[in-house]
Structure 1
Amino acid sequence: MRGYLTPFVLLFVACSSGSSENTDFASSEIIEGLRFRTNVDRVNPMIGTTGLDPSEYGGMIPSVALPFAMTRWTPMTRENYVSRLPYHHDDRKIRGFMGTHQPAIWMGDYGYVVGMPGIGDVRAGAEARSLPFRHEDEIATPYQYSVTMDAGAGQSVKVELTGTSRVGFMRFTYPKGAQAHFVLEATRANITGNVRIDAAKREITGYNPDRQDDKLGPFKAPGFKGYFVARFDTSFESFGTSTGEALHEGEIDRTSDAACAYVRFPAGTRKVEVRIASSLISVEQARDNLDREIGDGRRFESVAWATKKAWSDKLDRVDITGATDDQLATFYTGMFHALQYPSEASEYGRYYSAYDDRVHEGESYTSYSLWDTFRAENAFLTLFAPERIDGMMTSMLQDYREGGWLPMWKNPAETNIMVGTNADSLIAEVINKGFTGFDLNLAYEAVRKDAMQPPDRDTELKYRDREEGTPVEARAGLTWYKEKGWVAADRTAESASRTLDYAYEDWAVAQVAKAVGKDEDAAFFLERSKSYRNVYHAGTGFMRARNYDGSWADGGWTEGNQWVYTFDVMHDVPGLIALEGGNAAFTALLDRHFGEGHNNHTNEPSHHIAYLYDYADQAWKTQERVREIAESNYFNRPDGLSGNDDCGQMSAWYILSSMGIYPVNPASGEYAVGSPFFETMTIRLPGAHRPLVILAPRNSAQNKYVRAAWRDGRRMVAPFLKHGDIARGGVLYFDMADEPRPWGGKDD
């Protein structure tokens, strides 16, 4: 594979050496670069775009943009909102091409913009302007999307789409002899926005203030706007604005709800290009983003090629042998998904903060789905995008300064979605992995506040899921947790899950305390991290919720049940095993969990459970269960993700598990070992002086058991690895067999 990619890499170096940001390359060189096949071309962006349930499926869209892009560009087949994305594989019409910031299906969009080409009479409304399409006429990659839509009467309109981090680049091919036009939608009904047409500059500018999650959390950000600049390469013959289906011919400026602008192109126009830049700061900043990232001199192929190169820089670091084409598609699509979030929120040294409604200097990220991503996605990023980690931590600390708390689910301000202060886990994890390029003392101040200061009105509010009108939730019920040792079920919602989460997060806070020399604090939080014992019901062997008076209660779970959450003691698995009566009793309970169908891989709390056998001297069952989960939840097809990808967590599970590792306790910097999926993986991790080579000869669906393993020639005595064992490269060798073998068993 490495030799196969070399011409592409050499071509990029030759063309980019000494060039400025907006220098265009020779057309033949660009086209030749796009033709070189890399691992990016194994990605199937349609994976996760449909499923049996209208919302509990992969929740992905076939977007084009750079890794971690601020704005992603996608065909739009339906109106998106909370619990609905703009593209669904089952739809048969396209209503536009959208610059979206919606990070996950359960979250809302904000500051979005939509453009749509058309022919004949201008139809500005979303339904009226929609055009039919067939999947056979789509081509989707991470760097370029194209589709040919049926415009009626035997005519068609072709759209090609690529993008950078803050700019979408569209190219339209109109039918011969047709009156070509373009509609730009700034806002929908009941959302007041602005469009302005400047024919001399061939631009449409404006803003969209919609923030679909603005009912959640205390940060209303009255000044929020998503700004845009759309710049065309073709002059306008005529133009106007619209509200719904009503056209306002010749009008150049409109501020209203359902604000749209339209332009018609001169007779005979066949091809039109439009660059649409986004900004959360201003129209001027959007124009600057456009000039920096694409500019008038860049050709479409040049932008697509540079975007492909950016993805290749990540995906081509991994070479695999012994995998089917479908497995390769699943793996590299997983990398594509996991390298999208958190998304950039800063714009060349400045960022808009929805916490205090102001513009600041610095680097910023948003789309922090921390209840999901603290489990494995962040571990994936520490390996495959370590250059981003310090900036991501600094961004969370900026959120703390501007909003008073570390983020829980930031989109683009705190939404109070899910439970727990999982930023504590991320900070502890990266510190334990050697990342120090952020303010450690401020980080400890922030995590200690999470652990010690109850949220406002903690004794008054239940803090139910998506409850409106609440302060920042942080550790809701912390008052009772500090007083009783558990969150009281009769006083705070989702109390049992919260108790277990807070115990884990206390362990994480202890790690940060140790890192800054607060040894007494570290000892305190380590002791309090044992609070999970307070919700263990010895009579049933399960975790249970408790009321304030100590009586047992039913329910109290966050997207799970007693089966899932009994195993949610990631920081002290030996302690949990002791509660359950030792290894034999613990593994018997795990056997029931899987055998009776309680494991639910479609949701994150189950993701680590298969690896718990490692801690109870039955590693071969981890190897068996992990393979079963992978084979029944991941497929190379549109319904190929069994659950919402949730900002990369589902995909990160597959990627790390295919390597044979998983971070059961992410904050520890340790990985449990499973069963590598392929014969050979060669991974050139950023910053490592040598590649990580994972060798598993004779690996197959039958030979899924590990008889023994070696790290750089030294036999592993237990199924666990430190982060440094992975990140610094080297050789992991797995001796595979077709029958179970206790870890460390004697050689045949």
Structure 2
Amino acid sequence: GAVTPFGMLSWSPENTRGDATRTAAPGGYQYDATRIRGFSLTHMSGTGCAGGSGDIPFFPYAGEVTSSPASDTKDAVYAADFTHADEQAEPGHYEVGLASGVTADLTATARTGSGRFTFPEDKPASMLIRTANSEVGSADSTVRIDPKARTVSGSVTSGNFCGYLDPEGQRSYYTLYFTARFDRAFTSTGTWQDDRLSPGSTEASGGTGGFAQGGRPVAGKGAGGYVQFEPGSGPVNVKVGISYVSQAGATANLAAENPPNRSFASVRSAAHRAWRDRLGAIGVGGGTDSDRTTFYTALYHSLLHPNVISDADRRYRGADDKVHTVGRGHAAQYGTFSGWDVYRSQVQLLTLLDPDTGSDIAQSLLELARQNGGVWDRWLHGASGTHVMNGDPSPAALAGIRAFGGIGFDLRGALDSLVKAATVPTEGDLSSAGKPVLSAGQRPSLDKYLDHHYMPSVTNAWGGAAETLEMSGADFAISQLATAAGDKRTAAEFAGRSQWWQNNFN
């Protein structure tokens, strides 16, 4: 798909195997699934849980909209086949020709996207905007069509990452707003909610539900809107801005990064340069062309997350659901931090390549923890904690960032917060909610760990030897942060605690 390094917006296809309640893969796209039901504005890369993000799918449809897209539960009507021979992908740009005769051409800035859609001249040209259809569904969505301004705007309220695994995850925790501005007049408009199609309508709302029914969208539910264009009038261009703060924020991001006079080619070229600069930070020689392609593809993947969640005006919605402003000395607020998955190597790599980005990520994690009552959640989706995985990855992530040159964050503040989290059991630590995959506390069963100096096999998390090793590693990281801060007493205490792994045997 089309995305810039750490970009908020990633415009990419949603594949289907004939079930509208799920996508073919957690990131939306699976190579052997050759049918597309939309191009969504947000994605997560490399996750194990089935679905997450995939917000606000756009689907260019070469036909008249005569039934509710929510009722197309098998993706038989409002979806299209494609072949990889009709597909082009490069950093910052994605293009595909669909079997319907439509071509979708996508590129991006950090917070906006530019789309160029070419329809067959002899068929109706429609654009569906499936506001409710995030990959794991939605609790609510809104859509508003303004024919005079040639805009479609609205929002989706979702969350639910890994929610199908445990009721602890079945909840909403973000709203994404969007503003889409087209360069063509609308010849007709309409909306839908569940099985009801409303031609001529310009407003609708409703989610897919499902958060409390097993964590999956409910077939046949959802809302959205569609617009139609004069056929044979050339490509339809659209610019889309998004924001987690407000509708006004989405519109302002669009004005700041992708104003009306900025061409598709200009956006594409800038995205290409942004990736060239990041990937060019490492030069390799030797090997084969295939080896080097593999190397730079892996480097590309490693620079997709965490994501910028602050708007162009530096405001962002925090873990407390309040609006905050990025602090002085930092370029952006970051979210979507898959702590357990990245603390061993990815944060070290991205910090080595750009210490300022590493520092901003460390400060972002601290700010979000402060807004979350001092709890450093181990897996952040946007600004919000999902509690997924085990251990306490934040100390190791920050120590790794610090060791690899990311020194521009509040070290003392982070150390004090992490030490408290490692020594004072919280209500979440004492709760079995979500165990073992979505454990509510930062250090589940911390009381038992402090008592035994190892994690017993029955705990509020994964338990046993694995959890003991995770805690020992986290404590060693705290000792390293304390050493960097000149706090010898704390460094010695946690260096001692880091050896509790030796209490495992057999």
Q: Which has the greater radius of gyration?
A: 1
8 A contact 1:162–1:303 mirrored in 2: yes
Alignment match, 2:239: 275
RMSD of aligned Cα (Å) = 2.3
Q: Say which of 379, 391, 397 aligns to 1:409.
A: 379
Looking at structure 1, the residues matched to 375 and 428 of structure 2 have their Cα atoms a distance apart, in angstroms, of: 15
Q: Name the counterpart of 2:109.
A: 164
SS at match of 2:180: strand
CA contact (8 A) 1:463 1:473 kept: no
2:145 partner SS: strand
Q: Distance in 2 between the 1:359 and 1:221 partners?
A: 20
Report how far residue 222 of structure 1 moved.
6.5
* Letter matched to residue 390 of structure 2: V
Of 37, 43, 54, which residue of structure 2 is paired with 1:95? 37
Aligned pair 1:298/2:248, yes or no?
Answer: no
User: Residues 319-718 of structure 1: matches in 2 within 5 Å?
Assistant: 319-348=283-312, 349-353=314-318, 355-362=319-326, 363-403=332-372, 404-412=374-382, 413-456=384-427, 458-459=429-430, 461=432, 464-467=435-438, 472-492=440-460, 493-537=462-506
Report the 3-state secondary structure (helix = DSSP H, G, I; strand = E; otherwise coil) of the residue aligned with 1:522.
Answer: helix
Would you say the 8 A contact 2:13–2:39 is kept in 1?
A: yes
- Counterpart amino acid of residue 317 in structure 1: A
Name the residue aligned to 1:142: 91
Residue 273 of structure 1 aligns to a residue whose secondary structure is strand
List per-residue Cα deviations over 1:255-284 (Å, max 9, x = no partner). Answer: 223111111112432311111211111111
- Establish whether residue 202 from structure 1 lines up as the match of residue 150 from structure 2: yes
**Cross-structure match for 1:130:** 79
Contact 2:193 2:204 in 1 (8 A): no
Q: Which amino acid aligns with 1:310?
A: A
Instruction: Give the partner amino acid of 2:109.
Output: T
Distance, in Å, in 1 between the alignment partners of 2:121 and 2:284 is 47
Structure 2 portions without partners, runs of 5+:
208-221, 327-331
Letter in 2 for 1:121: E
User: What letter corresponds to residue 383 of structure 1 in structure 2?
Assistant: L
Structure 2 Cα separation of the partners of residues 190 and 293 of structure 1: 28
In 2, the alpha carbon distance for the partners of 1:375 and 1:497 equals: 15
Q: Alpha carbons of 1:439 and 1:235: their partners in 2 closer, same or farther (altered >3 Å)?
A: same
Q: How does 1:43-192 map to 2 (within 5 A)?
A: 63-78=1-16, 80=22, 84-107=26-49, 108-110=51-53, 112-122=55-65, 125=69, 127=75, 128-151=77-100, 156-188=101-133, 191-192=139-140
Q: How far, CA to CA, are the matches of 2:364 and 2:107 in structure 1? A: 28
Corresponding residue for 1:591? none
What amino acid does structure 2 have at the position aligned with 1:344? V
Deviation track 1:403-445 (CA, whole Å, cap 9, x = no partner) reads: 0212311113111111111110122223334433111211111
Q: How many residues align?
A: 467
Distance 1:158 1:433, change over 3 A: closer
Alpha-carbon deviation of 1:99?
0.9
**Separation of aligned partners in 1, 2:428 and 2:158:** 29
Counterpart amino acid of residue 113 in structure 2: G
Q: Give, in whole Å, the separation in 2 of the partners of 1:218 and 1:453.
A: 23
Preserved contact between residue 145 and residue 203 of structure 2 (Cα < 8 Å): yes
TM-score using structure 2 length: 0.87
In 1, are the aligned partners of 2:62 and 2:125 still within 8 Å (CA)?
yes
From the superposition, tell whether residues 132 and 511 of structure 1 become closer, same or farther in structure 2 (CA, over 3 Å).
same
**Partner Cα separation in structure 2 for residue 477 and residue 194 of structure 1:** 41
| Higher mean C-alpha displacement, 298-307 vs 93-102 | 93-102
**1:193 aligned to 2:141?**
yes
Alpha-carbon contact 2:121-2:231 (below 8 Å) kept? no
> How far off is 1:454 after superposition?
2.2
1:72 counterpart letter in structure 2: S
What letter matches 1:75 in structure 2?
A: P
Question: Does 2:193 correspond to 1:243?
Answer: yes
Residue in structure 1 matching 2:249, options 285, 292, 308: 285
Please tell me whether the aligned partners of residues 302 and 346 of structure 2 are also in contact (alpha carbons under 8 angstroms). Answer: yes
Q: Partner letter of residue 409 of structure 2?
A: F
Unaligned runs of 5+ in 1: 1-62, 538-748
Shift of 1:318: 3.1
Q: Which amino acid aligns with 1:73?
A: W
Structure 1 stretch displaced more, 204-213 or 73-82: 73-82
Q: 8 Å contact 1:458–1:477 — kept in the other structure? A: yes
Counterpart of 1:213 in structure 2 is: 161
Hey, what's the Cα distance between the residues in 2 that align with 1:212 and 1:488? Answer: 30
Give how far 1:303 is off. 0.7
The residue correspondences of 1:4-23 to structure 2 (distance < 5 A) are none
Kept in 2, the 8 Å contact 1:459–1:491? The answer is no
Is residue 378–residue 393 contact of structure 2 (8 Å, CA) maintained in 1?
yes
Alignment CA distance shift 1:292-1:522 (3 Å): same
Letter in 2 for 1:365: Y
Query: Can you list the C-alpha shifts for 1:358-400, whole angstroms capped at 9, x where unaligned?
Result: 1111132112111121111111112112220111111011011
Rounded to whole Å, the distance in 2 between the matches of 1:455 and 1:321 is 51
Change in 2 beyond 3 A, CA 1:532/1:138: same
Asked if the contact 1:513/1:522 (under 8 Å) is kept, the reply is yes
Amino acid at match of 1:210: S
The residue identity in structure 2 corresponding to 1:232 is F
Alignment correspondent of 2:213: none
d(CA) in 2 for partners of 1:361, 1:240: 38
Farther off after superposition, 507-516 or 109-118 = 109-118
Supply the distance in 2 between the matched residues of 1:457 and 1:263 (Cα, whole angstroms).
47
Q: Secondary structure at the match of 1:210?
A: strand
Q: Which amino acid aligns with 2:143?
A: V
Shift of 1:499: 0.5
Cα displacement (A) at 1:102: 2.9
Counterpart residue identity of residue 56, structure 2:
V
**For 1:293 and 1:173, how far apart are their aligned partners in 2?**
24
